[in-house]
Amino acid sequence: MPDVPPTPDHVLSHEQMDGLRNINSTAVVDTLARNGFEPHHVYMPNLKNMTPGQRLVGRAVTVRFVPARPDADAEKPEGEASPEYAAFETAGEDDVIVMEAMRDKRMSIGGDIKFLRLKQRGIEGLICDGGIRDMHVVKDYGIKLFGYDKTSNLGTRVGTPFETNRPVAVDGILVRPGDYIHADDDGVVVIPRSVAVDIADKAIEYDDLEEWIRARLDEKNLSPGRYYPPDDETFAEYRAWKAADGK
What pTM value is reported for the model? 0.94
Which pLDDT value is given to residue 234? 94
pLDDT for the residue numbered 2:
60
Cα Rg of the chain (Å, integer): 20
CB 104 within 8 A of CB 158: yes
What does DSSP assign to residue 3?
A: P
pLDDT digits (tens, 9 = 90+) for 39-61: 999 999 999 999 999 999 999 99
Q: What residue ranges define each of the domains in the chain, with the CATH number in brackets?
A: 8-198 (3.50.30.40)
What average pLDDT score do residues 64-74 get? 93
Tens of pLDDT, residue by residue over 169-183, are 999 999 999 999 999
- Distances in Å between the Cα of 10 and the Cα atoms of 33, 72, 192, 197 are 19, 35, 9, 6
Query: Is residue 200's pLDDT more than 90?
Result: yes
Percent of the chain whose pLDDT exceeds 90: 86
Question: Residue 72 phi/psi, 5° resolution?
Answer: -70, -40
Quote the Cα angle for 32-34-40, to 5°. 50
pLDDT at position 7 is 74
pLDDT at 203: 98
What does the mean pLDDT of the chain come to? 94
pLDDT of 158 reads 92
The C-alpha atoms of residue 221 and residue 224 are separated, in whole angstroms, by: 9
The answer on pLDDT for 6 being more than 80 is no
- Using the Cα atoms of residue 80, residue 85, residue 86 and residue 90 in order, give the sign of their dihedral: negative
